[in-house]
């Protein structure tokens, strides 16, 4: 029997299952941080790096008739393994005017569309960020609402507005104005890209603008600055991270766009996405198409690196 003066010994604490697993992983040398990073690293390896290596390997082969429609990289003759690499596909990209013109045209169209999207999206994001709280969520919902519809249907619906007997020309006909030629032009491609990727510009800008301290605007007004001066000196510099993020989200997918120039553009609208499709499915030249895809990846990565460097420089300042 125990008396009242004797201390009671608490029961031994049981380790939680997660703590036990964590201790076992620590014995192997795997920390919790490594375990958290393991899942995205495996995803990146399986769904990006390995397919990228396969495409790069195909780009170093030559076209042949058969299955697969390209020559093997490794051949065994007489018990020896031989690695054969062909650089003709990459040389052709820089010597053929078709591919050079396609890359330059894709960069031009994507850059102009990004600038137009920025000019339209910035006032919209600014208005949403300065709107009352009860309207802010509704306005954001209206921006995101087009994503509930299929991308292909949204692009195809634009043809009903811009074709010869479409809504716009019928409206102009009510005033006796001649019809406009909009379909199968670069103008239609710009409209399609801006309409499709406008939310990708608005959302990063809104995230940046809504966090701005309003006391900075009051201080600028107290110092005698006009609203335009306040915008150029305070609002615009502080919103540059959102501008860079939105520009990246618009420029990167626009440069390799295929659906929009195919449905809205004409034969003179040359973009690298259409060239890539033709090489794969029309010419059945997988090595050339793989080289085009690898070169397009380099074209996309370079502006990403430049924009990230500019963004990190502004953050440091």
Instruction: For residue range 166-203, list pLDDT tens digits in order.
Output: 888 898 888 888 888 888 889 999 999 999 999 999 99
Mean pLDDT value across residues 200-224: 86
pLDDT of 3 strictly over 80: no
Question: How distant is the alpha carbon of residue 118 from its chain centre?
Answer: 15
Q: What is the pLDDT of residue 12?
A: 52
Rounded to whole angstroms, how far apart are CA atoms 75 and 279?
A: 26
Mean pLDDT value across residues 161-165: 87
Residue range(s) occupied by CATH 1.10.3720.10 in the chain = 88-316
End-to-end, the C-alpha distance of the chain in Å comes to: 73
Average pLDDT of the chain to the nearest whole number: 85
Rounded to whole angstroms, how far apart are CA atoms 156 and 151?
A: 9
Neighbouring-strand partners of residue 70: 63
Q: What is the pLDDT of residue 20?
A: 66
pLDDT of 145 strictly over 50: yes
> 83 or 140: which carries more pLDDT confidence?
140
Domain at 88-316: CATH code: 1.10.3720.10
Rounded to whole angstroms, how far apart are CA atoms 117 and 123?
A: 11
Nearest to 117 by CA among 193, 188, 62: 193
Mean pLDDT is highest, among 1-5, 40-44, 309-313, for 40-44
Mean pLDDT value across residues 109-123: 95
0.75 cut: is pTM over it? yes
Please give the biggest Cα pair distance in the chain. 108
Tally the residues of the chain: 317
């Amino acid at each position: 029997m125990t008396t009242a003066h004797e201390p009671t010994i608490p029961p031994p604490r049981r380790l939680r299952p997660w703590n036990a697993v964590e201790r076992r992983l620590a014995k192997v040398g795997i920390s919790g941080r490594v375990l958290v990073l393991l899942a995205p690293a495996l995803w990146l390896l399986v769904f990006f790096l390995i397919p990228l290596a396969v495409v790069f390997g195909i780009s170093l082969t030559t076209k042949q008739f058969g299955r697969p429609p390209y020559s093997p990289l490794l051949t065994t003759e007489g018990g020896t393994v031989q690695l054969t690499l062909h650089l003709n596909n990459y040389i052709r990209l820089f010597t053929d005017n078709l591919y050079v013109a396609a890359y330059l045209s894709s960069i031009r169209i994507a850059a102009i569309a990004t600038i137009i999207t920025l000019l339209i999206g910035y006032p919209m994001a600014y208005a949403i960020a300065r709107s009352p709280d009860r309207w802010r969520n509704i306005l954001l919902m209206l921006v995101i609402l087009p994503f509930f519809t299929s991308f292909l249907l949204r692009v195809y619906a634009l043809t009903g507005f811009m074709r010869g007997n479409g809504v716009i020309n019928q409206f102009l006909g009510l005033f006796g104005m001649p019809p406009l030629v909009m379909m199968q032009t670069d103008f239609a491609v710009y409209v399609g890209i801006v309409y499709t990727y406008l939310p990708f510009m608005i959302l990063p800008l809104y995230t940046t603008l809504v966090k701005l301290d309003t006391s900075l605007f009051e201080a600028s007004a107290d110092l005698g600055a006009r609203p335009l001066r306040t915008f150029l000196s305070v609002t615009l510099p502080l919103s540059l991270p959102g501008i860079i993020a939105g520009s990246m989200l618009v420029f990167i997918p626009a440069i390799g766009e295929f659906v929009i120039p195919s449905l809205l553009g004409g034969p003179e609208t040359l973009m690298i996405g259409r060239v890539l499709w033709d090489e794969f499915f029309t010419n059945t030249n997988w090595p050339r198409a793989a080289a085009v895809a690898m070169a397009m990846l380099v074209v996309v990565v370079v502006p990403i690196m430049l924009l990230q460097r500019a963004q990190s420089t502004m953050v440091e300042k």
